[in-house]
């Protein structure tokens, strides 16, 4: 499915594909919409939690990591569903591991946020 485009044209098309991916995830994935809202609220909270730039970067990166893993999970689920809708052990495994990636990222973010809040307020 390569188009043969190079240079700036390829880069511009990549942005269009990314925008299409964002629209599709937002439109079809309730979890992505919920996590996007949570991350937007927490992004604003970052500026009230700490003034330290390093801590802010850790907090913000943990939020992006949540969204990133949700998108990876969505991609895994789409590929599995595209291959077959029949129940299969490997399909379940792929989807369960994708879900675990998202959960692990939430735990990571909670540890980061907890540490920064503990450091600054307790």
Q: Give the pLDDT of the chain (122 residues) as one tens digit per residue.
A: 566 788 899 999 999 999 999 999 999 999 999 999 999 999 999 999 999 999 999 999 999 999 999 999 999 999 999 999 899 999 999 999 999 999 999 999 999 999 999 999 98
Q: The whole model's pTM is what?
A: 0.89
Quote the CA–CA distance of 52 and 41 in Å, as a whole number. 19
Whole-angstrom distance, CA of residue 29 vs CA of residue 24: 8
Residue 2: the pLDDT is 63
The CATH number of domain 30-121 is 1.10.287.3610: yes
Where in the chain are the domains?
Answer: 30-121
Q: Which of 24, 70, 77, 86 is catalytic?
A: 70
Q: Which two tokens stand for residue 99?
A: 């879900």
Catalytic-residue membership of 70: yes
pLDDT of residue 4: 78
The set of residues, in sequence order, having a beta carbon less than 8 Å from that of 38 and lying 6+ positions away, is 66
């Amino acid at each position: 499915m390569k188009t043969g485009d190079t240079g700036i044209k390829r880069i511009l098309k990549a942005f269009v594909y990314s925008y299409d991916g964002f629209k599709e995830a937002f439109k079809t994935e309730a979890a992505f919409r919920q996590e996007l809202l949570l991350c937007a609220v927490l992004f604003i909270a970052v500026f009230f939690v700490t003034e330290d730039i390093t801590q802010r970067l850790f907090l913000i990166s943990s939020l992006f990591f949540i969204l990133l893993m949700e998108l990876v999970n969505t991609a895994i689920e789409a590929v599995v569903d595209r291959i077959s809708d029949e129940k299969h052990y490997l399909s379940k495994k792929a989807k369960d591991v994708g879900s675990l990636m998202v959960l692990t990222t939430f735990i990571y973010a909670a540890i980061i946020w907890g540490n920064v809040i503990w450091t600054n307020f307790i």
